[in-house]
A and B are shown apart, each in its own frame.
Chain A
Amino acid sequence: MLGWELPPHNSGGLGVACLNMARALANQGADIDFVVPYEAEHPEIKFMKVLSATRLDPIYRYGGGAYESLKLLEKIIPTIDKEKLVSIRDIQKSYCEFVEKYLMEFKPDVVHAHDWLTYEAGVLAKQKFNLPLIAHVHATEFDRAGMHYGNPLIHEVEREGLMLADEIIAVSETTKRIIHEKYHIPLSKISVVYNSLDENYDTAKYTFNHNAYNYLKNLKSAGYTVVSTVGRFTVQKGLHNLMRAAAMALSKNPKLIFLFAGDGEERDELINLAADLGISKNVIFTGFIRGKKLRDIYSISDIFVMSSISEPFGLTALEAAHHGDVLILTKQSGVSEIIWSALKYDFWDEKKLADEILAVASSPALKETLQQNVKQEYRKISWNQVAKKCLKIYNKTMKHKGFD
């Protein structure tokens, strides 16, 4: 398996999904070597071998990133070691070299590559070693760029990887459609395999610390409704629409608090927008959070909004459902394809979003029904099912080896 990150060295959902998928596959008998582009300990991973392609520290794995210039990065993180900061293209090159060396010695049955970052290495495995390639699409550049064009170089890498892959796994029908329409890949080559919630999510020791957000707790007992959103503050997430909808909703019901949990390049813009709309008092920015703090956010919230312009899957919605939040999802999110007990809207339809927030805030009956019903369905998909589907797809590519 070719990946870019694994917890605890992850910045988002990609690492979490890879870890859970690999664990479920290992449980069903798959023998996995997982390549990451950095060198670090993964003390909790015992079911597979994690191989480091470079000796980089994990924080440098995205290098300069696909978007930021070196100069900008120096500004943002003054402590960063300039010597170690190579461009992401250089890291990908080293990654490929490592994979090539590795394949000289070992012959896996299939190569499973996660997202564009690893597609070049995957294509190399296919071309030079004639191994079946499975390209797993967690997100495309179109998603990341909010359906605008994005980085042409990344498009090129994605296009090549998707064209040459034997099979493609998309995390939702939405993503499948994008792969088909934007990259002109035949639908027959693309299978949809939805993500699932972490197997250990229920069992993991977590108790809500009721003192974590005393300020919010006070507001709640005064009749406030807490609306939260979690994610990177980037164009893909449609947060401007959410902010404007928040202002509309507040004009009808001032007892609403909006929690924006996360960080990203849009943070300052969003803070400005809230001020321009005159709703700063009702908008809270928490900064980047993870783990228990994130769970506290879910727990204190009444409503979780996924406002993404394009969201291949949207695991955070399942996490929020687990903590009893009412879900409001854009129809452009993959998770909305499988969750029925949620309110939905088109990402641009700010009025409808405001309507939905107000309806939940004003009706205990609606809130209760949504909470109860979503609890019955958020676990519909398990990682074991995901692994079974993956194995089937592997077998399809290994027909030449007598698998059927």
Chain B
Amino acid sequence: MRAICLYLHIHQPVRYREYSIFDVSNDSNYFHDNYNGRQSNERIFKKVADKSYRPMLDLLEKNMQKYPGFKVSLSITGTWLDQAEKWAPELIAQIRRMVKQRQVEIVGETYYHSLAFFYNLDEFNAQVEQHVRKIQEVFGVTPQVFRNTEFAYNDCLAQWAEEKGYKGILAEGWDKILGWRSPNYVYRPAGCKNLRLLLKNYRLSDDIAFRFSNRDWKEWPLTVPKYQNWLNMDCLRGNLINLFMDFETFGEHQWKDTGIFNFMDHFISSWLSEYENKFLTVSETCDIGEPADEISMPETVTWADTERDLSAWLSNSMQTSAMNDLYAMRESILATKDAGLINDWRYMTTSDHPYSMCTKYWNDGDVHAYFSAYASPYESFMYFENVLRDLDYRLSIAKK
């Protein structure tokens, strides 16, 4: 048997608007920009829904109807579900149908797509539990496999997942960790017995997610026969290919006119046309056999950048002070038992916020190195701090 484990990540942050210091203590609307505003969550969500969520979910569902053996694993953040409920509930219904058919498995994570694991373990647990409850309520299933925000993984996280009874956990298949070993096997995290570690095959994943439409790439254009040939070759070092990527790869990062949807459509049928080839969900993958080896990652590894670390989120002093200030408020926020206030505070824990304060590439003037909802990392920080000031103000009112 040769298997592809296709895992797609669905997420939208709830962006704060250009929240002025003059709004603090006057107007606690942080998250609703004008429809045409730069940080309009509604406009952005609807745009991505049209370009990516809807056509890709249609494509997946169509292939699932055609091929009962076609399966996908999805991680869906709570912040995405909150917004989809408001602006595109039919997307949730569609995913629910596929979950019912047991062709989609839902992966567990934090509700708010946060980096809470690195700041406050209680908060992390609370957000994971909130996500579990939400998934049960919306899809009627309980996640068996866990992924942390931005694939930020280390041995401690694996131990946590083992204690919580997860079957498996996802991480980056980074060469520096693997050495001569291949990501095409199931591994066991260091210090764990039952937990399984699935590692992203980043070369074959990134061929689709990042390079597909790059005309400077010497392999452009990527055709199905060529890609299938690469998969066949890669299977020589293990019969499991973990293709992990953002859901928005399809239609948003790679636009429709690059041919990404046609590629995927043909690829699914072409892969399944060989009798020994399969698609597996993440928990099925955990069961395919005994772990090949034990893998230890004492340092945190993520799926981002060439450094594969957290530096895009937590390196400059704006990012670290924003996060420290935020998490320092936690106990007092929770003590108010004010659900609205707690939810607003938790929306601020989303990792996209510190990411938008990243200055790593900013000096080069390469604005297009990443997409940001803000005019500059500095402005993003400014508005973030102003939101915290208003949260502080609401706390002082609540205490009275």
Contact B363 A351 (CB under 8 A): no
Given known pairs A351-B22, A359-B21, the reply for A373 and B321 (CB within 8 Å) is: no
Q: What are 15 sample pairs from A and B whose C-beta atoms fall under 8 A apart? A: A252-B21, A340-B364, A341-B359, A343-B378, A343-B379, A356-B382, A359-B381, A359-B385, A363-B318, A363-B381, A365-B317, A365-B320, A366-B378, A373-B359, A377-B363
Does B365 interact with chain A (Cβ within 8 Å)? Answer: yes
Contact A365 B381 (CB under 8 A): yes
**CB < 8 Å: which of B22, B320, B375, B378 contacts A370?**
B378
Contact B21 A369 (CB under 8 A): no
Contact A369 B318 (CB under 8 A): yes
A211 shortest CB reach to chain B, Å: 31
Does A28 interact with chain B (Cβ within 8 Å)? Answer: no
**CB < 8 Å: which of B22, B316, B376, B385 contacts A362?**
B385
User: What separation, in Å, do the CA atoms of A342 and B320 have in the docked complex?
Assistant: 19
Q: B119 — which chain A residues lie within 8 A by C-beta?
A: none
Does A354 interact with chain B (Cβ within 8 Å)? Answer: yes
Contact A355 B363 (CB under 8 A): no
Does B217 interact with chain A (Cβ within 8 Å)? Answer: no
Closest to B316 in A: A369
Q: Mark B353-380, 1 if CB is under 8 A from A, else 0.
A: 0000001001111000000000110110
Contact B22 A344 (CB under 8 A): no
Contact A355 B22 (CB under 8 A): yes
**CB < 8 Å: which of B20, B317, B363, B365 contacts A368?**
B317
Contact A343 B21 (CB under 8 A): no
Most buried by B among A342, A373, A376: A373
User: What separation, in Å, do the CA atoms of A365 and B377 have in the docked complex?
Assistant: 12
User: What separation, in Å, do the CA atoms of A354 and B386 have in the docked complex?
Assistant: 13
Does A248 interact with chain B (Cβ within 8 Å)? Answer: yes
User: What separation, in Å, do the CA atoms of A196 and B363 have in the docked complex?
Assistant: 17
Contact B382 A359 (CB under 8 A): yes
Closest to A328 in B: B378
- List A residues 322-380 near B (Cβ within 8 Å): 338, 340-344, 351-352, 354-356, 358-359, 362-366, 368-370, 373, 376-377
Contact B22 A340 (CB under 8 A): no
User: What separation, in Å, do the CA atoms of A384 and B382 have in the docked complex?
Assistant: 37
User: What separation, in Å, do the CA atoms of A352 and B375 have in the docked complex?
Assistant: 13
**CB < 8 Å: which of B322, B362, B382 contacts A373?**
B362
Q: A376 — which chain B residues lie within 8 A by C-beta?
A: 363
**How many residues in B have their beta carbons less than 8 Å from beta carbons of A?**
22
Q: B364 — which chain A residues lie within 8 A by C-beta?
A: 340
**CB < 8 Å: which of B20, B317, B365, B376 contacts A343?**
B376
Q: A358 — which chain B residues lie within 8 A by C-beta?
A: 21
A280 shortest CB reach to chain B, Å: 23
Q: B362 — which chain A residues lie within 8 A by C-beta?
A: 340-341, 373
Given known pairs A340-B376, A373-B362, the reply for A366 and B381 (CB within 8 Å) is: yes
Q: B316 — which chain A residues lie within 8 A by C-beta?
A: 365, 369
A352 shortest CB reach to chain B, Å: 8
Contact B317 A340 (CB under 8 A): no
Contact B385 A363 (CB under 8 A): yes
Q: A338 — which chain B residues lie within 8 A by C-beta?
A: 365
User: What separation, in Å, do the CA atoms of A341 and B362 have in the docked complex?
Assistant: 8
Q: A370 — which chain B residues lie within 8 A by C-beta?
A: 378
Mostly, the B contact residues are helix
Q: A355-B382, A365-B316, A366-B382 are in contact. List 5 more A-B contacts (CB 8 A).
A: A354-B21, A358-B21, A363-B318, A368-B317, A377-B363
Mostly, the A contact residues are helix
Chain B residues at the A interface, C-beta cutoff of 8 Å: 20-22, 316-318, 320-322, 359, 362-365, 375-376, 378-379, 381-382, 385-386
A304 shortest CB reach to chain B, Å: 15
B390 shortest CB reach to chain A, Å: 13
A227 shortest CB reach to chain B, Å: 15
Q: B322 — which chain A residues lie within 8 A by C-beta?
A: 365
**CB < 8 Å: which of A344, A364, A368, A373 contacts B375?**
A344
A144 shortest CB reach to chain B, Å: 28
Contact A340 B365 (CB under 8 A): yes
B400 shortest CB reach to chain A, Å: 22
Closest to B322 in A: A365
Q: B359 — which chain A residues lie within 8 A by C-beta?
A: 341, 369, 373
Given known pairs A363-B385, A369-B359, the reply for A354 and B22 (CB within 8 Å) is: yes
Q: B21 — which chain A residues lie within 8 A by C-beta?
A: 252, 354-355, 358-359
B21 shortest CB reach to chain A, Å: 5
Nearest 7 A-B pairs (CB), nearest first?
A: A365-B321, A359-B382, A365-B317, A365-B318, A358-B21, A369-B318, A355-B20
Contact A340 B318 (CB under 8 A): no
User: What separation, in Å, do the CA atoms of A369 and B382 have in the docked complex?
Assistant: 12
Given known pairs A354-B22, A356-B382, the reply for A369 and B365 (CB within 8 Å) is: no
Contact B382 A344 (CB under 8 A): no
- List A residues 191-228 near B (Cβ within 8 Å): none
- List A residues 174-205 near B (Cβ within 8 Å): none
B325 shortest CB reach to chain A, Å: 9
Contact B363 A248 (CB under 8 A): no
B80 shortest CB reach to chain A, Å: 30
Closest to B317 in A: A365
A102 shortest CB reach to chain B, Å: 43
**CB < 8 Å: which of B20, B318, B375, B379 contacts A351?**
B20
User: What separation, in Å, do the CA atoms of A252 and B25 have in the docked complex?
Assistant: 12
Contact B363 A373 (CB under 8 A): yes
Contact B381 A340 (CB under 8 A): no
User: What separation, in Å, do the CA atoms of A358 and B385 have in the docked complex?
Assistant: 11
Q: B365 — which chain A residues lie within 8 A by C-beta?
A: 338, 340
A356 shortest CB reach to chain B, Å: 7
Q: A365 — which chain B residues lie within 8 A by C-beta?
A: 316-318, 320-322, 381
Q: A364 — which chain B residues lie within 8 A by C-beta?
A: 317, 321
Q: A377 — which chain B residues lie within 8 A by C-beta?
A: 363
Q: A344 — which chain B residues lie within 8 A by C-beta?
A: 375-376
A173 shortest CB reach to chain B, Å: 13
A210 shortest CB reach to chain B, Å: 26
User: What separation, in Å, do the CA atoms of A173 and B317 have in the docked complex?
Assistant: 32
Given known pairs A351-B20, A358-B21, A363-B385, the reply for A369 and B317 (CB within 8 Å) is: yes
User: What separation, in Å, do the CA atoms of A344 and B364 have in the docked complex?
Assistant: 17
Closest to B362 in A: A340
Given known pairs A366-B378, A377-B363, the reply for A252 and B22 (CB within 8 Å) is: yes
Most buried by B among A342, A352, A362, A369: A369
Contact A366 B376 (CB under 8 A): no
Closest to A352 in B: B20
User: What separation, in Å, do the CA atoms of A362 and B321 have in the docked complex?
Assistant: 12
A347 shortest CB reach to chain B, Å: 15
B20 shortest CB reach to chain A, Å: 5
Closest to B385 in A: A363
Q: A368 — which chain B residues lie within 8 A by C-beta?
A: 317
User: What separation, in Å, do the CA atoms of A311 and B273 have in the docked complex?
Assistant: 65
- List A residues 261-287 near B (Cβ within 8 Å): none
User: What separation, in Å, do the CA atoms of A321 and B186 have in the docked complex?
Assistant: 53
User: What separation, in Å, do the CA atoms of A354 and B378 have in the docked complex?
Assistant: 15
B23 shortest CB reach to chain A, Å: 10
Contact B321 A363 (CB under 8 A): yes
